[in-house]
Chains A and B, each alone.
Chain A
Amino acid sequence: DQQVKQNSPSLSVQEGRISILNCDYTNSMFDYFLWYKKYPAEGPTFLISISSIKDKNEDGRFTVFLNKSAKHLSLHIVPSQPGDSAVYFCGETSGSRLTFGEGTQLTVNP
């Protein structure tokens, strides 16, 4: 079974609004969570990460929140832009392994 779960296969938002992508995890012994973005016919690219000792990490329009008690993390994109339309994967690293969830297709409509 995958250690991280992304239960929403797709999300559609209007340009300028907030996009919230969610991820649940089962393994409490992690070091970092990472978010990757993937465009069609390209490899995934790193977006943002958060360590286990933090609750929030921000980078420009992207903010990741970690709720350890709920074993839940979320990626907020504000404001959303059409160029943000892609598949987003949350990943977990607990040492040497890097494993990912199923991905969420984000579509930002102009």
Chain B
Amino acid sequence: NAGVTQTPKFRVLKTGQSMTLLCAQDMNHEYMYWYRQDPGMGLRLIHYSVGEGTTAKGEVPDGYNVSRLKKQNFLLGLESAAPSQTSVYFCASSHRGWNTEAFFGQGTRLTVV
């Protein structure tokens, strides 16, 4: 049982380049989330989705886009990477967004130079 899988695990980008982070879950969860973790800032919600075909903005959505074309996948895109987007990115999923626990992936460490 893989749970939540993030691809890639590490990446170095040059300023201005684009990339897509893939999150896949095999638990048939409705809700999926993308977070970034920065020192002293905790986990900040970038975007989230409450079901296939839906997306919504979180706390820090600027510079990112997302898509949820399939229930099991949640893609996070950076159209033009900036050094401020250097961070560790976590994807999570949950059956619902309420009291049920969210399961997190292992994270993607992204460095923008």
Q: Spell out B's residues near A (CB within 8 Å).
A: 4, 31, 33, 35, 40-45, 48, 50, 56, 58-59, 90, 92, 94, 97-99, 101-107
How far, in whole Å, are A9 and B41 apart by their CA atoms in the complex?
10
Smallest distance from the beta carbon of A30 to chain B beta carbons, Å? 10
Contact of B101 among A6, A46, A102 (CB under 8 A): A46
Which residues in B have their C-beta under 8 angstroms from that of A49?
A: 99, 101
Contact of B90 among A34, A44, A51, A101 (CB under 8 A): A44
How far, in whole Å, are A9 and B105 apart by their CA atoms in the complex?
24
CB proximity to B under 8 Å, residues A1-53 = 2, 6, 9, 31-32, 34, 36, 41-46, 49, 51
Contact of B99 among A31, A36, A101 (CB under 8 A): A31
Smallest distance from the beta carbon of A1 to chain B beta carbons, Å? 9
Contact A2 B104 (CB under 8 A): no
Contact B102 A6 (CB under 8 A): no
Q: Spell out A's residues near B (CB within 8 Å).
A: 2, 6, 9, 31-32, 34, 36, 41-46, 49, 51, 89, 91, 93, 95-103
Residue of A nearest to B90 (CB): A43
Q: List 30 A-B contacts (CB under 8 A).
A: A31-B98, A31-B99, A32-B98, A34-B99, A34-B101, A36-B104, A41-B106, A41-B107, A42-B107, A43-B90, A43-B92, A44-B43, A44-B104, A45-B104, A46-B103, A91-B43, A93-B98, A93-B99, A96-B50, A97-B48, A97-B56, A97-B58, A98-B92, A98-B94, A98-B97, A99-B45, A99-B58, A99-B59, A100-B45, A102-B42
Contact B105 A43 (CB under 8 A): yes
Contact A43 B106 (CB under 8 A): yes
Shortest beta-carbon contacts, A-B, top 5: A43-B104, A46-B101, A102-B42, A96-B97, A100-B43
